[in-house]
Amino acid sequence: MKKNIYLFAALILTALFGGAEIAKAADVSIGVQIFTRYVLNGHGTKGGNDFDDRSEGSDFIGQRTVVDVKANINDETSAFIQLQSNRQWGSGEVGANYNDNTTNRGSTSGANDGSFQVNDQDSSVGIHEAYFTLKNFAGLPVDAKVGRQEIILDGHRIFGDTLWTMGQNSHDAVRLTHKHDNITINAGYMLALEHGVTGNAAVDNQSDAEDYFFHANYKGILGGQLSLVYNFLQDSCGNTGTNGAAGNACTNATALANDIHTIGFRQAGQMFGIDYRGEYYHQLGQADSDALASQMGGDAARGTSAGIGADRDAYMFGVRVGKAFNNVQMKPSLTLWYDYLSGTKDSDLTDGTATYKSFNTVFDTGHKFYGLQDLFLGIGGGGSTKGTSGLGLQDIAIKAKVSPMPGWTAKVDYHWFYTAEGVQGNPDAGMGGLNNTVSATGVDRNRSSALGNELDITLVNKYNANTNVMIGFSNYTTTAAFRDLRGVRGDGANWAYLQFDVKF
């Protein structure tokens, strides 16, 4: 018996140390992240972030667990795999339903892995990234990255990983990168949505959504760097639009094209002690799916039809200036910025001359720009409940940052939000009875395009070399336009969170 035990122990040790030697020879490294966030809506008082003064507050805990494996296989080949579990404490529900400040957070029954489950059925682990990289591909000065991967360009404006959400965002793509001196060039293809294979190649291919992008970055211009971006989201079936086929087969007769060509530039850097950023993007293409009915508040007769078609002609620009002051200990800074995303008027979508002018944020990280409560995600995407129903968006913000003590950073942001197109020009664009409506006090509410104000307070602590702690509180104050646009009645919403990010 003892002999068998010793033999078993020897085999285990051999496997462990042998595996370690193999990993060492292949240059394999492993990383782990445990990211836990407690979210509180409404602070347990009336007025949670559903903007309903009659509702009570709610809270939940989400957790992202990530294991990274990186292997430098040889001088020309490397690989990366990231396994991820995105779940809510006590339920096992997938994180897509509760990873931000939304009100839909899945089942409350404790399915899969609640404490009362004697047999854990959680199956939430999946592959977030899995790709290999070939250096100097085909003998060219180009590195090829092939597989599921995050794509982040510049400041997350057109391509980002969504950053705040528990699951973040990744793509099935092929990316080619060339670097030379101060120049970096990226070009890639992404299969954004695969309908499947039914045997009808014409229908299958038309129902897919594909993306092609080009990005060039040149460092050393005006105290910073200049980026040029071109992105083509080819969606002949209109799957990405509100009235699209949502992955179902479509034919030429039923297709509602939603093709988006985005071209623009971004210049960012520092001059004369001032941090600055300026960017501009223009969009062309087809917008049948986005324009049909969703812009018209559900009234298809006032909008366009599949037989007529809608052209896309939209733009956005953003400017930011900031100043860091000379205080080594406190490190104070102040930033001002303004973003403008174009919108669509009723008159832009008249029959026969339909033009959709609402800028689509494509694959951006909206959390980084339009307030931390994430109330304006999916801008320009038809009738998105977190957009502005095609009216566009203006964001005026002031941001302050200071380090009150070593290891701590405090941030205060304040946003003023407006639609880009006046609500009086869009009586049917999801605005209900707002237009031509006089309030009980005799105030003509349709004169204002103000959507409200948001205050974001964030406190960040570098607890140690492997742990960051973040505490946040946000308050949003609504307007008549916002309440009518979203169909809510509350004057405001509160939201708070506490999160721990541990990496090793």
What pLDDT sits at residue 201? 57
What pLDDT sits at residue 15? 53
Average pLDDT (177-185) is: 96
Q: How far is CA 300 from CA 288, 320, 351, 423, 429, in A?
A: 12, 39, 11, 19, 11
- Helix and strand numbers (H, E) in the chain are 4, 19
Q: pLDDT at residue 6 above 70? A: no
What pLDDT sits at residue 415? 98
Identify the band that residue 225 occupies on the pLDDT scale cut at 50, 70 and 90. very high
Check residue 437 and report its DSSP letter. -
CA pair distance 384, 101, nearest whole angstrom? 16
| Neighbouring residues of 9: CB distance < 8 A, sequence distance ≥ 6 | none
pLDDT tens digit sequence for 91-147: 755 443 444 444 333 444 445 677 777 787 777 889 999 999 999 999 999 999 999
Q: pLDDT at residue 338 above 60? A: yes
CA pair distance 225, 220, nearest whole angstrom? 6
Average pLDDT (228-241) is: 86
Identify the band that residue 51 occupies on the pLDDT scale cut at 50, 70 and 90. confident
By mean pLDDT, which of 109-113, 125-129, 218-222, 297-301 is the weakest? 297-301
Answer yes or no: are the C-beta atoms of 436 and 412 closer than 8 Å. Answer: no
Domains in the chain with CATH codes: 2-70+78-108+131-503 (2.40.160.100)
What pLDDT sits at residue 79? 97
Q: pLDDT at residue 485 above 90? A: no
pLDDT tens digit sequence for 393-410: 999 999 999 999 999 999
What pLDDT sits at residue 3? 55
What pLDDT sits at residue 434? 47
Per the model's pLDDT, the better-predicted residue between 434 and 153 turns out to be 153
Residue 225 identity (one-letter amino acid): Q
What pLDDT sits at residue 177? 98
Q: pLDDT at residue 199 above 80? A: no
The share of the chain scoring above pLDDT 90, in percent, equals 52
What pLDDT sits at residue 385? 55
Residues 244, 252, 241: CA angle, nearest 5 degrees: 15
CA pair distance 243, 310, nearest whole angstrom? 13
Identify the band that residue 461 occupies on the pLDDT scale cut at 50, 70 and 90. very high
List 296's β-bridge partners, or say none.
Answer: none
List 187's β-bridge partners, or say none.
Answer: 176, 214
What DSSP string runs through 415-466? EEEE-SS-GGG-TTSS-TT-TT-B-TTS-BGGG--EEEEEEEEEEEEEEETT
What pLDDT sits at residue 490? 81
Torsion of CA 359, 365, 368, 373, to 10 degrees: 90
pLDDT tens digit sequence for 405-431: 999 999 999 999 999 988 765 655 444
What pLDDT sits at residue 104? 39
